[in-house]
Amino acid sequence: MAIGLASCESKEEILYKQYVVEGRVLYQTHCANCHQENGSGLKDLYPAISQASLWKRMKSDELTCLIKWGRKGTKGYMPGNTKLQALDIAEIQTFLREQWGPQKTIYSLDSARFALKTCETKL
């Protein structure tokens, strides 16, 4: 019975769900310690990623570069995770979109690869 139900989903829907599940695991491993399980952050130390204002001002490629390379800023420092590959970042972003972003869409591997090639700063 489950096989029949699974076959009703398109390849895109299955891939999206896979990215969300894998992204959740990666988020819990690499991001939740600072940004918290619920995306609320820790006061002024780590920003909340569940806020709509963040999603309005930050583009996906910028977030890709931030996850990979980090950023030093006047309000603090976000360490990058250079061990994460393009697929990992695509999955994390898909999970973030599913949880808190306005777009409940997949962030593709091709988009992540392209963004990583165009990152301006590498800390």
User: Per-residue pLDDT tens for 55-70?
Assistant: 788 889 999 999 999 9
Confirm if 117 and 61 have CB atoms less than 8 A apart.
no
In a domain, 27, yes or no: yes
- Is residue 2 one of the residues assigned to a domain? no
**What per-residue confidence (pLDDT) applies to 1?**
45
CATH number, domain of 37, equals 1.10.760.10
Q: Is residue 122 part of a domain?
A: no
- The pLDDT tens digits of the residues spanning 6-28 come to 568 899 999 999 999 999 999 99
Report how far apart, in Å, the C-alpha atoms of 86 and of each of 33, 75, 106, 119 are.
21, 27, 13, 13
Residue 106 inside a domain? The answer is yes
> How many other β-carbons are positioned within 10 Å of the β-carbon of residue 73?
8
What's the mean pLDDT in 93-121? 91
- Secondary structure letter of residue 83 according to DSSP: T
Tell whether 53 is covered by a domain: yes
Give the amino acid at 35.
Answer: H
pLDDT tens profile 33-53: 999 999 998 887 888 888 877
Confidence of residue 54 (pLDDT cuts 50, 70, 90): confident
User: Domain range spanning residue 64?
Assistant: 10-117
Nearest to 85 by CA among 77, 73, 93, 75: 93
As for how many domains the chain has, the answer is 1
pTM score, whole prediction: 0.86
Give the C-alpha separation, 84 to 81, whole Å.
Answer: 6
At 24, the amino acid letter reads: R
